[in-house]
Homo-oligomer: A and B are copies of this chain.
Amino acid sequence: MELKEAKEKFIQAWGTLGSNWGINRTMAQVHALLMVSPDPLSAEDIQDELNISGGNANMNLRALIDWGLISKVHKPGERKEFYAAEKDIWKVFKQVAKERRKREIEPIFRVLEDVSKISGNPKEKNNKAFLETVKGIHNFASKTDKTLETLINADENWFMSSFIKLMK
């Protein structure tokens, strides 16, 4: 297989993976393209490679910067901005975990705490079922949150080696 074809397949697969996980397909494709490029690319390069409009490229590049997955690179003597992706997949994973934690766990906590404050007898069947489910999720979310926090601060080797030991 030629490099070009392999790149296309990889970009396609990464896009599908992203969209299964609630990330817009094009954003994931831009990310994939930058991950396999040896050098930073300009917005124009990306437009041409992926056949997307300038507006679309720009919006997804900003979103990727916002997620902390790529950064602008200024090339001396060049007018254009270039973009480069973090290629260490462990760092990518940690960054995504960090952002999703901020964007999703925190809001769900607020809702869980809020809906726990229901009136009426907590022993009554309907109230009880509700409160137990909510409490269970709250408890689980707390543990997950702590785990994620540790994960985000962990170094890969430490984490993986400890984890593998644990799994034995």
Contact = CB atoms under 8 A, between A and B. Distances in A.
B35 A133 contact: yes
Interface residues of A, number: 56
Given A19-B22, A108-B17, A114-B9, A136 B36 contact: no
A104 interface: yes
A65 B6 CA distance: 37
A147 B89 CA distance: 16
A62 to B, nearest CB: 19
Contacts of A93: 140
10 contacts: A1-B117, A6-B130, A7-B115, A13-B108, A17-B104, A21-B21, A36-B130, A89-B137, A150-B167, A166-B166
